[in-house]
Amino acid sequence: MGSRRTVLLRGARDGAPIAVGYFVVAFTLGFAAKNAGFSPVQAMVESLLNNASAGEYAVFSLVAAGAEYWEVAVMTLVANARYLLMSCALSQKLSPKTPLFHRLLLAFDLTDELFGISIAYPGALDPFYTYGAMALAIPGWGLGTFLGVAVGNVLPLRLVSALSVGLYGMFLAIIMPPAKQDRVVLILVLLSFALSFFASRAPFLSGISPGIKTICLTVIISFGAAIVKPREISCQMSVDG
C-alpha cells in the first residue's frame, strides 16, 4: 500500500478539508463554550480531549445550566454512544495483528468524519492514513474552539451558514460512491434519510435526544438489512495492510 510517508500524506490530503470543516464547526461551538463560562484554554482542552461536536455541545449546555457531574457523564455517554458502534466497525477494518498502541491512538480521534474516510480506505486500514488526517483535524478542532471563545462573533452569519454544510458534503462523498455500486446500500441510504426525517419531525418523538435517535435508527436499519440482505463473506479483511 505504498510507503508510510505516502500513506501519511494521503491521509493529510483527505484530512485537510475535514480540518477546515472542523475549524468552522468548532468556532461556532466556541460560542456555546463561552456561554457556559469556559475560558478559551479550557474550551480548547475540552475539544482536544473530546473531539465530538454533539457531545461537547451537550456538555456546554449542561454546564451552562449548572448540571451535576454525573449528569455530564451520562449525557456524554448518550451523545457519543454511536462511536461505540463505529469503534466495533473499525475493529473489523483493522488487520487482527494491529498492535494495541495503534488501537489506543486510533480511538482517540474516532469521529464521524475520520471514521468515514478510514472505512473508505481500500483493504485493511493502515493506521498511518488516519494519523495523517488526525494531524490536521485535531489542531483545526482545538484552534477553532479556542478562537470561537476568544474572538467571538466575527464571521458574518451568511458565511457561517454556508460553511456549516461542509461536513454534510463530506458525509455524502463517503456514502454515495458505495451506494452507486451496491443497490442495497443505495436503498439503505434513502431509507435512512426518510426514517431520520420522520424521527426528527414526529411530535411524539420530540422528547428524545438526537443522539439517541441516531443510535436507535442506526441499529434498527442496519440490523434489519443484515437479516434481509446478509452480505457474502468477503476476503477483504484477510489482506494485511
Partner 1 sequence: MKNIWIYILISALVSYLIRVTPLVLIRREITNRTLRSFLYYVPYVTLSVMTFPAIMDATSSPAAGLLALLAGAILAWKGKSLFLVAVSCCAVVFLFELFL
Question: 49: exposed, middle or buried (C-beta count within 10 Å: 0-12, 13-18, 19+)?
Answer: exposed
Q: Which is nearer to partner 1, 207 or 230 (CB)?
A: 230
DSSP 122: S
State in angstroms the smallest separation of the CB of 3 from partner 1.
Answer: 22
Q: Which is nearer to partner 1, 154 or 158 (CB)?
A: 158
Q: Which is nearer to partner 1, 1 or 195 (CB)?
A: 195
DSSP 96: T
126 three-class SS: coil
State in angstroms the smallest separation of the CB of 101 from partner 1.
Answer: 10
State in angstroms the smallest separation of the CB of 166 from partner 1.
Answer: 5
Q: Write out the binding residues for partner 1, residues 122-141 only, by CB under 8 A.
A: none
Question: 211: exposed, middle or buried (C-beta count within 10 Å: 0-12, 13-18, 19+)?
Answer: buried
Q: Which is nearer to partner 1, 83 or 143 (CB)?
A: 83
Q: Write out the binding residues for partner 1, residues 157-216 only, by CB under 8 A.
A: 157-159, 161-180, 185, 188-189, 192-193, 195-197, 200-201, 210, 213-214
Is 43 in contact with 27 (CB distance < 8 Å)?
no
Cell readout for 223 is 440490523
Q: Which is nearer to partner 1, 150 or 225 (CB)?
A: 225
State in angstroms the smallest separation of the CB of 204 from partner 1.
Answer: 17
Alpha carbon distance 142, 125 (integer Å): 26
Q: Which is nearer to partner 1, 68 or 204 (CB)?
A: 68
Alpha carbon distance 41, 145 (integer Å): 9
Question: 127: exposed, middle or buried (C-beta count within 10 Å: 0-12, 13-18, 19+)?
Answer: buried
State in angstroms the smallest separation of the CB of 4 from partner 1.
Answer: 21
Question: 5: exposed, middle or buried (C-beta count within 10 Å: 0-12, 13-18, 19+)?
Answer: exposed
Q: Which is nearer to partner 1, 8 or 112 (CB)?
A: 112
The size of the interface with partner 1 (CB under 8 A), counted in residues, is 102
State in angstroms the smallest separation of the CB of 15 from partner 1.
Answer: 10
Q: Write out the binding residues for partner 1, residues 8-47 only, by CB under 8 A.
A: 14, 16-18, 21, 36-38, 42, 45-46
DSSP 40-73: HHHHHHHHHHH--HHHHHHHHHHHHTT--HHHHH
| Residue choice 6, 57, 103, 135 for contact with partner 1 (CB under 8 A) | 103
Q: Write out the binding residues for partner 1, residues 61-100 only, by CB under 8 A.
A: 63, 66, 69, 72-73, 76-77, 80-92, 94, 96, 100
Interface with partner 1, residue 233, by CB under 8 A: yes
